[in-house]
Each structure stands twice: as structure tokens, then as C-alpha cells.
Chain A
């Protein structure tokens, strides 16, 4: 793994500015900081007015918060993006093949490339999906692949999100905000557009209409409701695609088909872009106490009368304990070498790995295999002895629940913070669409850790976002 003296600054140093940032660097030098502050405030007003907020589950304060938006864009050259994009295609293809395989013939398990126990004994594995192939064999219709960069050449996948990844509305709204607030700066660059994402998403969803659908498919977005933290995104995507935004209570199953309750009576639904977790989809099949879901939905799905996107059971592909095997999947299913690198990962359930992890807690990042959103994490170099003791106990008690990785020196981008313009760590979540073909909109959501030295970019942990630019030239 590459190790540099300090984290890689994507803009370069002042004496040696990297090509894609040339104009940004000049613009930043000429921009008085009070004007930058003005733009930052304008951005905040804009986001509030449009209502681009997310809910935070903590005590007190404003229940609808803004994710801080940094107005200095993160820039990728076309060549950098092209390589990334190839890697994303490859990875999603392999993840999808893995899903079709583990719910089908299980070749990869029989070949011993992934331990059978880790798949079949995993709570993300859905036995209900065995022997059922969704339309077009597509499972991960929308995948968010979290990418970090350590130097000029190496992109690593930090994790795969194959269930209901969110954040794409920020990718789109961030660009809108930039075009509005800094038109000159945008005009100076030839930006690869992103605004066609909702159309691509709709095409992808239509392309996987169920076999029982004879006419133009009716698509809807299924949301847990307006109290969900990502509700803004659900409504935004439904609106942009021009399809209904439904809640569980708007749907019912009758004689095996799914209908929405409308002012004109029941209307058939063919494809549901669902943003509800598997557990809550159908109280008859999954959690019986779910009030968010639709009784009978899963049976209709298996009968080929409605398509769910993403498919049920995709969690087994993005499980943190399965992650170390993705490069092997790429080799196994595609016969190719992985283009994007995996972060070396220690599985605490392996005796050797656990021993190493416990001895090196101060330099590792420990993650709960079931955790997400930056919760349940130990960042070794920033931890206290007490933190480490707590994690050591937890790892010993339930080793299978923990993995560990080296602390990565994530790349930084210039960011406007209270102290002025300073480098802050970033990651990137591109969104990969997968129906009858794979499509990626150039760019993605750049998340930035606003606190100095922080490596946690999650919005629930004080992270912000940036517009991500792929330069056409």
C-alpha cells in the first residue's frame, strides 16, 4: 500500500499545482475570503429554501438539518474518471454476478473462493431469494461504491453499497447550486454533465419491468415516509422521473398484483424503486411488525408481477465481511484483474488476523460488519487507551462482527472552513446503474470531513459535501 509523507493533496502544492486544478487554484488565489463567505451563505440559503435537508436522530436542535456544502469543487480529469469508471463497471458486474450465483447455483462457494459459512450463515443472506432470478438478472440496480484515493494513481474501494444507497440528490443539487452561485468558474471549465441521472435511472427501472407487464411499465418510488432521513431524496427522484412517490399504505396486493390507491381507483404498479430496507418490505415475509411495507409484496415479486429495485437480499454483496472477497469475485466471474483496489482487511474471526488486530489497534480502523453511517467505528490513531480497551473486549466477545483495516491517508481537497481555505479529507461515492446495461454518470458525491485531521466523512458525523467535477478536457 502506498505511503506518502503526508496525505495526497488533489490540488497539489502551491509550487506544483496539478493540471485539473489549475483554474481553481488561480480562482482561489484571486477570491477574497469575504466573497467566498458570501457565496457560502448564499448556498446555505438556497439549500434551505429548496428544503434539501436530512433528519438527524439526536437530541434537540433543528430536526431538519442541512448537510454543509463546500463551494470549492473537487475535480477529476477525464482520464482519471475513465479509469475509475471502468473499474466501477467491472466491480458492479462482479457483485451482481455474485448475487445471482449465491441465490442460484453457488458456484463460487463450491469452488471454495468464498467460505460458504460466511455467506449462508450471514444475516444479510435472504434464503427467500434462493432459486429466483429477477428480471434481466439484475440485483443491484443502483449501487453506490465508496472510493478513496491515496495518491495520484491509486483508487481504493472502501465499501460497496448495494442495498438502498443514498446521496445522489446531493450530487445533482450540488451541481445546480454551483451553476447558480459560481457561473463564471463553471463556465471556465468544460464539465461533464450529471443532470440526466434521473432519466438514466428511469430507463434502468423500466428495463427491468416484470414479465407480467405487457404495456409501458408503471414505475413508482417507495419511501418509508416524510420522517425518513433521506425523504428529500426520495421525493426529489420521484419528481425528477415524473413518477409517483408512494408509501406502504398507498399500495396493496390483490390477486397477486400490486396496486396504488388513487383518486380513480386502483392502479397497477410494475416497478418499485424501493427505499425501504428488506426487513420492512412485507410483514408477511419479513418483519411482521413492519407498518411501512405491503403485505403480499414479496410473493408478487417472486411471481414476476412486480420488480423491486434493488432486489431483495443484495446486502450479502456489500457485507463488510464479504468485502475482502470482491477481488476474487472479479477474477472468478469475469476472468479479469480488478481495476480498483481493495483495502487490505483483517477478518477478526480468523485467529491470525484477530491476533494482529488486537496488537495493532492503535494504528487500525475497526469496523462493525453490520454498522453503517460511521457509527460503531474505532479509529486507532485517534483513539484513547480506554476506547481501545472497549473494542478489544468487543472483538474478543464477538470476533465475527468486526473487521479491521489500516488507517488510510485519504486524499485531501482545498475546502473553505472557518480558518480559511485548508485541505480536508474526502471520499467519493459514484452511483452505478445496472439494468440491462451498466451506466455511470460522471462524478458522484464527494463527501468531505470538515474537521481538521478527521477521516470520517459521514454526514451524520459532521461531514459535508462538494460538487464533483469531471473535466471533459
Chain B
């Protein structure tokens, strides 16, 4: 297929996934900042949401200080923020429109309808009583998008690049949530086991739709090292780093087979990252430093994205 088409599909999927991640993070941020016990300074919660979405510098440049209502607007509606939900959907749709021939009718309609409804969004939807409903809707639209392409696209290279976009973004999002919250998972964190910590742990799991999953996997109270293990190393957890990377390796391999065995640095690198996760132990991660581990993973993913792009998507 055309490199430009593959590139469009890849970024379309990434941005739809990112829109849902931002929505999940906003849900969590909103929940935490509304809890009266929270926090001497509710602004902290929103700051970490901004950091997790990579939008803190842009926000501060525009608004100067953390004001919850402004943060919400910046994360959800602001067209000047390239990672706002509205911008993500706009970018996804622009990519989708440019590669329309590669999308099935169902996928296109899921995307286009989402875009149309997003364009009609007004600021009053950010009111406390309607925000959760709106964020649920964004997550649902992203799931509908994934469901429609997974169920209707031909299993050809177009599907592989789309799926690759979804998984790369998903891994990156999980890592970013861990990165911004790693401190509450550290054993030497002050007030270990306090009520506040408990809610922080919950919030991490909620942000990746895994609170119930945790209980099904561990049948135990929330424990920070188990949360880290679930999100990094457990293959049955669909948003864990190892689960996403296992898929990424498979998808890249499927592309290599389809394209007559051509492999490049992206294939090696994905395999290496996956192997580290596949055979990693949570004790070693904490020993190495959770923060350092996650930061390195994020850097690796950035490099992997560039390698995939250079090998398949932006070949000149």
C-alpha cells in the first residue's frame, strides 16, 4: 500500500486511542480533585494530568497557573492544544479523510460521526454534572472505532498498520500514567497505606480501566508493587506494557512476512523491548528504580515509532 496511506492509518489509530486516554485521565483527575480529603492542593492532581498527557508546558505558556476549569478546557476543548480531545479527534479525522479509500464504511462512519458531534461540543458540557458523561462518550467512541476496524477491515497491511498505531499509543499511555504517578507506588512513600494513597492507587487503575481486573487477577487488597506488576508485566492485562509490546512484535512480524521477509531495526528493537518485559521481574524493576525504568521505556517507544516510520511510513 502507499506509504502515505499506511502513515495516515497509523496516526488515525494513534489519535483515536489518545483521545480516549486523555478522557480517562480527565475522569480520574476530576474524581480526585473533587474528593474533599484530597489534597491540600487540588491543583496537584490537575498538574499531574497535564504532565501525563504531555501538555503541561503548553498549558502554562497559555494560562500561567493551574486553574481547574482552565485545565479542563485545555484538555478537552482547546483547539490550540494538539493533544486536547477535540484536537485528537480532529487530527484523527483529517488523517482518516486523507486515506478514506483504506477505511471500511463502518470505520469511516464511526470516525466521521464522532468528529461531527465533537465539533458541536459547547463549553457547558464541562460542567461537573455532565463531564463524566462526556468522557464516557469519548471512550465509547474510541472503542467503537477500534471495534469497527477490528471487525470490518480486510486483514491486510492496512489493518496491521492501524492496529500498530493503536497499540503503540496504548503502551505509551500506560507508561505515561505510570510515569506521573510512580511516586505513590514507591515503598518509601510517606504515609504508606494511608487513605489518600489508596485512592491514588485506585485512580491509576481506573485510568487504564483495570480496577476490576486487578481484583480478578490478584484477589487481594491494592498493593503498589502488584499494581506496577499488573500494568507492566502481566500479559493478561490488555493495556499492560508487555501485552501491548507482544502485539507490536506480532504485527511487525506479520508485516515482514507479508513483505517477503524484509526486516529492519524496528523489528529488532520491538523484540528487545518485549523480551525485557516478557522476562522481567517486578522486584528488579523496583531495584532499578520504577521511574527510571518507565522513563527508559518511554524513550524506547519514541525510538521504535521513529524506526517504524523510517522503515515503512516515510520512505523517500
Contacts and interface: CB of A to CB of B under 8 A. Distances in A.
Interface string B204-247: 00000000000000000000000000000000000000000000
B125 interface: no
Nearest to A237: B101
B94 A246 contact: no
B108 interface: yes
Given A49-B113, A261-B315, A263-B313, A225 B1 contact: no
**Taking each of A48, A245, A246, which has the highest tally of chain B beta carbons within 10 Å of its own beta carbon?**
A245
Interface in A236-295: 238-239, 244-247, 249-250, 260-265
Contacts of B255: 263
B78 to A, nearest CB: 20
A262 B3 contact: yes
Contact of A263 (B101, B112, B113, B259): B259
Interface string A26-66: 00000000000000000000001111000000000000000
Given A48-B116, A49-B112, A51-B108, A262 B101 contact: no
B100 interface: yes
Contacts of B168: none
B278 interface: no
A226 interface: yes
**Taking each of B3, B105, B109, which has the highest tally of chain A beta carbons within 10 Å of its own beta carbon?**
B3
A161 interface: no
Nearest to B260: A264
B312 A235 contact: no
A261 B1 CA distance: 8
**Taking each of B113, B161, B313, which has the highest tally of chain A beta carbons within 10 Å of its own beta carbon?**
B113
A310 B315 CA distance: 30
B116 A261 contact: no
B252 to A, nearest CB: 12
B259 A246 contact: no
Contacts of B108: 50-51
A244 B112 contact: no
B109 A247 contact: no
Contact of B312 (A48, A244, A245, A263): A263
B1 A244 contact: yes
A239 B260 CA distance: 26
Nearest to A252: B316
Nearest to A240: B101
Interface string A201-244: 00000000000000000000000011000010001001100001
Contacts, number: 60
Interface residues of A, number: 22
Interface in B235-290: 255, 259-260, 262
Contact of A226 (B5, B97, B312): B97
Contacts of A49: 109, 112-113, 116
Nearest to B160: A263
Contact of B109 (A50, A239, A264): A50
Nearest to A221: B101
Contacts of B161: 263
Contacts of A249: 4
Contacts of B98: 225-226
A263 B94 contact: no
Interface string B81-122: 000000000000010011011000100110011001000000
Given A51-B108, A238-B101, A239-B101, A250 B2 contact: yes
Nearest to B314: A261
A143 to B, nearest CB: 24
B100 A239 contact: yes
A264 B4 contact: no
B315 A51 contact: no
A48 to B, nearest CB: 7
A249 B315 CA distance: 11
Interface string B302-316: 000000000011011
Contacts of B1: 244, 262-263
B112 A247 contact: no
A51 B103 CA distance: 13
B260 to A, nearest CB: 8
B4 A261 contact: yes
B157 interface: yes
A48 B94 CA distance: 15
Given A50-B109, A51-B108, A250 B3 contact: yes
Nearest to A265: B315
Nearest to B255: A263
B23 interface: no
B26 interface: no
Contact of A245 (B101, B105, B262, B313): B101
Contacts of A235: 97, 100-101
A50 B262 CA distance: 37
**Taking each of A50, A51, A235, A260, which has the highest tally of chain B beta carbons within 10 Å of its own beta carbon?**
A51
**Taking each of B97, B108, B312, which has the highest tally of chain A beta carbons within 10 Å of its own beta carbon?**
B97
Interface in B3-39: 3-6
A231 B97 CA distance: 9
Contacts of B109: 49-50
A50 B5 CA distance: 20
A406 B312 CA distance: 59
B101 A244 contact: yes
Given A51-B97, A250-B2, A263-B259, 11 more contacts: A49-B109, A50-B109, A51-B108, A51-B112, A235-B101, A244-B101, A245-B100, A250-B4, A262-B1, A262-B3, A263-B1
Interface of A: 48-51, 225-226, 231, 235, 238-239, 244-247, 249-250, 260-265
5 contacts: A226-B98, A235-B100, A249-B4, A250-B4, A263-B255
Q: Which 8 A-B pairs have the closest CB atoms?
A: A235-B100, A239-B101, A226-B98, A238-B101, A245-B101, A263-B312, A261-B3, A263-B6
